[in-house]
Amino acid sequence: MGLFFGTDGLRGKVNKDLTQDIAYKIGNALSILKENPTIIIGADTRISNSYLALSLASGAMSGGAYVIDAGVVPTAGVAYLTRRLKADFGVVISASHNSGEYNGIKVFNSNGYKLSDKEEEGIERCFIKSKVNEFPHIGKYVQDFSLIKLYRDFLISCSENSLKGKTIVLDGAFGAAHRVAPEVFRKLGANVVAANCVDNGIKINENCGALYPETLKKRVFRYKADMGFAFDGDADRLIAVDEKGNIIDGDKIICGIAKYLKKLGKLNKNTAVGTSHTNMAIEEDLKNNGIDFIRTDIGDKYVLAKLVEKELSIGGEQSGHVILKDYATTGDGILTAIFVANMIINEKSSMSEVLSVKLYPQTNKNVIVEDKLRIMNSEELIKVITKYNAELDGKGRLMIRASGTEPKIRVMVESKDSEENDRIASAIVDTINKINKV
């Protein structure tokens, strides 16, 4: 990671961490890295999107870029359009699952892949210089909000079955999926119950979507639905709820899809990819079904890098980033939802049966801090982590990491004993808070 970019692009509070000037510099850097590039910009529904998109476009155009603003498009849609239209870069203006005062910038290359850490550092190095073309060689900016139809049609083409007869609840989180997801599922024949599927950048991710699946659970019960799917602000995450009200996270989705693909003979090298956060029960269940499991660092781009390197089919994160490598180049919540619905139909079963895995209890806590690096390198914290790692040895896991996108330290404790998990997590959080006050 560089000074500005984290594990999923650049993110922060608008006009505090993420400014108009930074957006301009990123756009300009793209015109330095590639001569007269074509750049597609898409965004979620945040009210700061036009402010940042136009700043980025101005920086790019000053260096001769041709910028196409596609309007509100999910992250995966921008990756698809970049590939489909043979653009040089795709840019997403979104802070994903964060609340409305945050925003972010993600950059895709011409193949629809998120830039690597090294490539993002290359963008940052361009900040120290600028490229300004003289008239008439400045760039051009156009809007084409109809481009999302290409992505919508692609999603529809990925379904091998009609979803007629299925009642499906969709929670759009007031974000980028608010229109396209209900359209796609209705085109496929489903009876759609659309929740939080309006354009409202103020309320994006607020007590709804992938971070708040309990609200989806209530609607699945209310409408006696066959399944429910919740997306985050830019729709690259998916959390599901089955017909019994069980919440299905990314771990369970990855596990179920991997076993299904193996059954069809379509799981490349009989291997799936997760992260250091993936529940131990998932690895055990896959192993019992003859599937190898590889862990990467947290961050869907690291999962994708491993999928590409090993030529594998499926990988993702507990948070709901699921990458179906044979279909897409990044996590796509809507695509994954379509795949899961088709899997249930083909198996002539229900979501509760197809995606059933008993997970180890996990306690997850986020601690807001002022200086992540100082605390992570603290001898006091290291001593406490060593102590509890020894306690959990052979029966559980402990993971402490600094968030790549927020001023937080994340604490995860996993074992079969939920009370022990809570006790250890609380002790570590207390230590972090103590260090933070010094």
Q: Provide the annotated active-site residues.
A: 96
Q: Is the peptide bond before 136 cis (omega within 30 degrees of 0)?
A: yes
Helix segments in 172-229, DSSP class H: 180-187, 213-222
215: three-class secondary structure by DSSP: helix
Contact status, residue 65 vs residue 39, Cβ threshold 8 Å:
yes
Q: For residues 276 and 298, what is the distance between their CA atoms, to the nearest angstrom?
A: 6
Cα separation, 257 vs 322, in Å, equals: 10
Q: In what order do the strands lie in the sheet with 362-368?
A: 362-368, 408-415, 396-402
Place of tokens 């910038």: 105
Closest CA to 216 of 249, 240, 191: 240
The Cα–Cα gap between 187 and 44 comes to 22
Helices 333-346 and 148-157 cross at an angle (nearest 10°) of 20
Q: 10 Å Cβ neighbour count for 374?
A: 13
Distances (CA, A) of 71 to 155, 185, 423: 18, 21, 47
Beta 322-324 vs 396-402: how paired, if at all? unpaired
How far is the C-alpha of 320 from the C-alpha of 337, rounded, in Å? 11
Q: Rounded CA gap, 179 and 208, in Å?
A: 16
Q: For residue 232, give Cα distances in angstroms to 44, 148, 203, 251, 303.
A: 10, 18, 12, 17, 19
3-state SS, residue 9: strand
Distance CA(74)–CA(96), nearest Å, equals 10
Q: Is 370 exposed, middle or buried (0-12, 13-18, 19+ CB in 10 A)?
A: exposed
What is the distance of C-alpha 260 from the center of its chain? Answer: 23
